[in-house]
Chains A and B, each alone.
Chain A
Amino acid sequence: KAGVTQTPRYLIKTRGQQVTLSCSPISGHRSVSWYQQTPGQGLQFLFEYFSETQRNKGNFPGRFSGRQFSNSRSEMNVSTLELGDSALYLCASSLRQGLAEAFFGQGTRLTVV
């Protein structure tokens, strides 16, 4: 079956702009989680969606937001980009909430200049 698809794979944006990243989960998976990965901070949890509702949120400012659609696809948005937002953004999908057997996408590499 097809894996988790994240688009785009690479993105370059300017400070102050906003960006939207997309994640298509594995068919039948209803849970989607987002993570930010940077060399200094490691893998940090952003938020988790299940059945179109945000179930958990990490410690990120309000500039980071997300949503999940009825087909389980998810988007995350970062407004007013800062240099420190440069990171690999990873999406994971699973059948149920939680970490059990979650499948990760390849990520979107965002560079803010």
Chain B
Amino acid sequence: DAKTTQPPSMDCAEGRAANLPCNHSTISGNEYVYWYRQIHSQGPQYIIHGLKNNETNEMASLIITEDRKSSTLILPHATLRDTAVYYCIVRGNTNAGKSTFGDGTTLTVKP
């Protein structure tokens, strides 16, 4: 699986958009980008995933650069409940993935 790099922490004001970056420069053609988050003391929660096109769902948007070497998760209107550790994971959709979560980004949404 490709290695990912995320900033260790970020702050965001409540009601503003939170933009969380992830670098995955060694991503290969069949590998997807997945985003999960973990709120303290809970299991991780799926947010969104994509291959090369931008994706949007009720929780967030995922913007993947054309060369696929980086992506950005966008929470359009962050709330205090969005404070969590956000993980960017790259994994092929085959048998050969081990789903390494890495250290993630701790997002703190402030009032």
Max chain B Cβ within 10 angstroms of own Cβ: one of A35, A56, A107? A56
Q: A residues within 8 A CB of B34?
A: 99-100
Q: Give the shortest distance, in Å, between B9 (CB) and chain A (any CB).
A: 15
Q: Give the shortest distance, in Å, between B86 (CB) and chain A (any CB).
A: 12
Q: How large is the interface on A (under 10, 10 to 19, 20 to 34, 35 or more residues)?
A: 20 to 34
When the two chains form the complex, which single residue of A90, A97, A99 contacts B49, counting CB atoms closer than 8 Å? A99
Would B42 and A106 count as touching, CB distance under 8 A? Answer: yes
Q: Which of B61-69, B75-83, B90-98 is the contact stretch?
A: B90-98
Give A43's nearest chain B residue, CB to CB: B101
Known: A45-B98, A56-B98. A99 touches B91 (CB 8 A): yes
Would B99 and A45 count as touching, CB distance under 8 A? Answer: yes
Cα A104 to Cα B49 with chains together (Å): 16
Q: Give the shortest distance, in Å, between A61 (CB) and chain B (any CB).
A: 16
Give A91's nearest chain B residue, CB to CB: B43
Would B44 and A43 count as touching, CB distance under 8 A? Answer: yes
Cα A90 to Cα B91 with chains together (Å): 19
Q: B residues within 8 A CB of A102?
A: 46
Cα A36 to Cα B94 with chains together (Å): 22
Q: B residues within 8 A CB of A26?
A: none
Decide yes or no whether A58 CB sits under 8 A from chain B: yes
Would A42 and B99 count as touching, CB distance under 8 A? Answer: no
Q: Give the shortest distance, in Å, between A64 (CB) and chain B (any CB).
A: 14
Cα A101 to Cα B32 with chains together (Å): 12
When the two chains form the complex, which single residue of A55, A98, A105 contacts B91, counting CB atoms closer than 8 Å? A98
A-to-B contact residues, CB < 8 Å: 4, 33, 35, 42-45, 48, 55-56, 58, 90, 92, 97-107
B-to-A contact residues, CB < 8 Å: 32, 34, 36, 38, 42-46, 49, 87, 89, 91, 93-104
Sample of 20 further A-B pairs with CB below 8 A, known A56-B95, A99-B32: A33-B99, A35-B99, A42-B101, A43-B38, A45-B98, A45-B99, A56-B98, A58-B98, A90-B43, A90-B44, A92-B44, A99-B34, A99-B36, A100-B32, A100-B34, A100-B49, A102-B46, A104-B43, A104-B44, A104-B45
